[in-house]
Amino acid sequence: MSDALLALQCISAGYASQPVFADLDLRLTPGQFAALVGPTGGGKSTLLKLILGLLPCTRGSVYRLPQMTMGYVPQREMIDWRFPVTAEQVVRMGRYRHTSYWPWATRADRREVVALLDRLGLTPYAKRHISQLSGGQQQRVFLARALVARPQLLLLDEPTTGVDLKAQHDILHLLHELNRAGMTILLATHDLNTIASHVPWVICFQHGVIAQGPPETVFTPGILRRTYNADMVVLHQDDMTFIANRSLIHPHVAQQTTLAHRPRKVNDGVLR
């Protein structure tokens, strides 16, 4: 426990009479960069809410390093995009803990917000209404709001959903930079392919931890089948991993892919 930033012990949680998971054990150490993957409705967002203290556990204990600060980037669909705020105003909200009691922004607030907008390449969009930004820009604005509070643990819920490939890459690159600078990061996603090539530690989750470890050890058809209740195809090519639901692949495409990359079947459906 002493080296953990966060430790969940024998946790049960859920809503009203519907338990989402039970007897869950999970720990995060300082500097860890982990992805929580699993199907929609499998309890990923509930787990994030529990860690954040937004949802109480019905059993077990949650240990958070004393004085630990957390930042949270919610799912894009949780945001009211019609709310009248600009990108800059959203980022400024994140300064809540550090700002004065006065209703206006202090000089320090403005300095911090401007610096962060600049670092994330958002300066030209600072005065724009949030609905006038692209998906990637919107995601960076909400990331900036979390970062402006200088959190030790950053939690992100589906940060790459609804953004284009370039924006996905930019966001994950930025998260890597933050992690290298010492920030602990846990992101929840169902985007397995992006995670497989970007995140060093994966937690497969469906109403509990199915398996965890580096992507190359966790992304096996067996573990993925238990996580998603579906047959998954795992392809390794040029140090990259591709995962697809077998039932969603057109047989013709599957055959072409197999022929083009000449993969070799090694075990339990894993093609190399």
Partner 1 sequence: MAFFVEPLQYQFFVHGLVAALLVGSLCGLLGVYIVLRQMSYIGHGLSHAVFGGAVVSHLLGLNVYVGAGLWGFGAAVLIHRLTARRDLHADAAIGIVTTASFAVGVALMSRVHRFTQDFEAVLFGNVLGVSEHDLVLIAVVTGLTGLAVTALYKQLLFSAFDEAVAQVAGVPTRLVRLLFTFILALAILASMQVLGVTLIAATIVIPAATARLLTNSFSTMLVLSTTLGGVTALCGMYLSYYVDIASGASIVLFAALLFVGVLGVRRQS
Binding site for partner 1 (CB under 8 A): 15-16, 49, 52-54, 70-72, 74, 78-80, 83-86, 89-90, 93-94, 96-97, 99, 103, 129, 145-146, 149
Q: Diameter of the chain by CA atoms?
A: 66
The answer to whether 163 touches 155, Cβ cutoff 8 Å, is no
Tokens of 195: 């995670």
Count of beta carbons in the 10 Å neighbourhood of residue 270: 19
Toward partner 1, which CB reaches closer, 85 or 211?
A: 85
Instruction: Compute the least distance from the CB of residue 78 to partner 1, in Å.
Output: 7
Instruction: Compute the least distance from the CB of residue 105 to partner 1, in Å.
Output: 9
Toward partner 1, which CB reaches closer, 147 or 223?
A: 147
Instruction: Compute the least distance from the CB of residue 180 to partner 1, in Å.
Output: 24
Toward partner 1, which CB reaches closer, 15 or 166?
A: 15
Instruction: Compute the least distance from the CB of residue 99 to partner 1, in Å.
Output: 7
CA angle 136, 172, 3 (to 5 degrees): 135
CA-closest candidate to residue 272, choices 210, 219, 225, 224: 219
The answer to whether 12 touches 58, Cβ cutoff 8 Å, is yes
Toward partner 1, which CB reaches closer, 86 or 258?
A: 86
Query: Tokens 């966001």 label which residue?
Result: 171
